[in-house]
Copies of this chain bind each other. A is one copy, B any other.
Amino acid sequence: MTTARHTRQREVIAAVLQQAEGPLSAPELLARAQVALPTLGTATVYRTLKLLQQQGEAHAVKLDGEPLYESSGRGHHHHFSCNVCGRVYSLHSCPVALPSGTVYPGGFVVEGHEVTLYGRCPQCAEAR
């Protein structure tokens, strides 16, 4: 395996992700990181994002158009995606109890989970 080197760009990208108020798209992440590192390139962001995900330090949330990335180790939360208007909301209660380390039948070691509920958001449920 390759030893991951410590570079300024990886440091900055990870920091931006941790300080973000919510999940960011790759382009957004790039823009924010460029404030500190103007020459940062697109490819580096994607390559770093892939690395961080493999290390479990970040993960992608894919609901709508582009995937959004968020730092792991942030409050546990899930999403609600409206089937009608397409908007995505954050939910604060979690409908599953799967502590990290749980081993699923077959030998799947669970490190995390993501739940998305689909349906009608308050506005769209009303406007029928």
- In the complex, how many angstroms separate the beta carbon of A33 from the nearest chain B beta carbon? 23
B119 and A112 contacting across the interface, CB-CB below 8 Å = yes
A121 and B108 contacting across the interface, CB-CB below 8 Å = yes
B111 and A120 contacting across the interface, CB-CB below 8 Å = yes
Query: Inside 8 A of A97's CB, which chain B residues have their CB?
Result: 95
Choose from B113, B119, B122 the contact partner of A118 (Cβ within 8 Å). Answer: B113
What count of chain A residues pass the 8 Å CB interface test? 38
A117 and B89 contacting across the interface, CB-CB below 8 Å = no
- Given A53-B83, A54-B83, A95-B96, A108 and B117 contact (CB-CB distance below 8 Å): yes
Query: Inside 8 A of A115's CB, which chain B residues have their CB?
Result: 96, 113-116
